[in-house]
Amino acid sequence: MGSDEESEDDDDAEEVDGVQENGVSGSEGSEQEEEISGDEEEFDINDMDSDEEIGSGDSEEDDNDQSGDEEEDSESEDEEDADQTAKLREMMKDTSLVASTLSKAAQADIEKGKAIKTQRKTFDTLLNSRVRLQKALISTNSLSAEPHKTATAPPSAIRAAETAALTLLNNLTNLRSSLHEARTGQKRKRTSFSTENPSSEIWSQISTTDSSSRSHRNTVLEKWSAKTRNVAVHSTKGRLNATASQTITDVLTTQLQDPARFIARTQVPRSCAPLQSASNLASSEDIYDDADFYGLLLKELLENRSSELNAGTAEFVVQAPWQLAREAKTKKIVDTRASKGRKLRYTVHEKLQNFMAPEDRGSWGERQRDELFGGLFGRRVGLGEEVEGSESEGDAGEEGLMLFRN
């Protein structure tokens, strides 16, 4: 009995020890499980932290990319704005350049217009002087005529005329000297003529002044001739030379190679020498008559001042004074065999203007017209039948009369 109890006690003790061991081992297992779960939780937390760190890194990278894109977009927009601004500035510069060019061109045209106006005014002044000298030229040419050769004028009048002529010559000489000084900047000794100077000395001084200004005159003539040659094409009829390829100085030089012919033309009395022209004088060395050139100047003046006059009227107005004298001298052509009815005189009528023969544009023919006129009085008779009946009646009456005549 005692052994059984001891064995039972031993078994119980072993069970208790086993339980304790199991409890200890269970607690150790739970602790291990807790440690594993904790480790897993730590791993999960670490994983979450790493995921969050990765996500935050990605978001930061995305933010950086977005900010970089925005910066690039802003930079591109700034560049585009800068390009547009540069283009606008270039366009404004071009516009200002074009405007300045146009303003300069307009100003140049204004200056040209003023210069042309001044030139026309100067030409009109010179032409007016030539017109006023016409009476003086006629009076000078009349001095050599027969009625005035033997007549004597008072000495005071002769001295007054001589003084006036010398004053005019001195004024012209001073004017040419002033123009030469303004052009070259060199002063020229001015010569004053008086009654004590002989005519040869006066003419020598005039020739010297003319030769000194010849080169400048030729340069100016060639310059303006070249400018106006291609602008306006004028008729070469009545000009010095019809060759368009030659310069004006070449034309003048060619014409002046034979001055005797032109001098002979100026010695023929016309409108500038009316007394010699009235006396039917062929030529005279004591006169100067430039009616051709004077008439050309007047013709140009009339063409410029009056656009309503045509060329024929202007020529008639200019050439009327000496043209009438020529017509009076010219013998008219008369047919002497046409008198006493030996030749039939007739006048040819002008051709008919705007005449047209009538045209039949009706839609009716001959048959419709015959039916209309045949049925006017309710009778349907053709016009041809009525005409035949009237002819037969006329023939019967004529036959009856013939019986009584026989």
pLDDT digits (tens, 9 = 90+) for 332-356: 777 788 778 788 878 888 887 777 7
pLDDT per residue as tens digits for the range 353-404: 777 777 777 778 888 888 888 888 765 555 455 444 444 555 655 665 555 5
Q: What is the per-residue pLDDT for 381?
A: 52
Q: What is the per-residue pLDDT for 315?
A: 43
Q: What is the per-residue pLDDT for 199?
A: 85
Q: What is the per-residue pLDDT for 232?
A: 52
**What is the pLDDT confidence band of residue 307, given thresholds at 50, 70 and 90?**
low
Mean pLDDT for the chain? Answer: 71
Q: What is the per-residue pLDDT for 32?
A: 47
pLDDT per residue as tens digits for the range 221-275: 888 888 777 655 555 555 554 455 678 888 888 888 888 888 888 888 888 888 8
pLDDT per residue as tens digits for the range 14-61: 444 444 444 444 444 444 444 445 444 444 545 555 555 555 555 555
Asked if residue 311 has pLDDT above 50, the reply is no
Q: What is the per-residue pLDDT for 29?
A: 46
Q: What is the per-residue pLDDT for 369?
A: 81
Domain spans, the chain: 19-106, 120-144+258-331
Q: To the nearest whole percent, how much of the chain has pLDDT over 90?
A: 0
Q: What is the per-residue pLDDT for 245?
A: 67
The pTM of the whole model exceeds 0.95: no
Q: What is the per-residue pLDDT for 281?
A: 80
**Can you tell me the distance from the alpha carbon of 319 to that of 329, in angstroms, rounded to the nearest whole number?**
16
Q: What is the per-residue pLDDT for 121?
A: 87
pLDDT per residue as tens digits for the range 61-116: 555 556 666 666 677 777 777 888 888 888 888 888 888 888 888 888 888 888 88
**What is the pLDDT confidence band of residue 130, given thresholds at 50, 70 and 90?**
confident
Between the two ends of the chain, the Cα-to-Cα distance in Å is 223
Asked if residue 186 has pLDDT above 70, the reply is yes
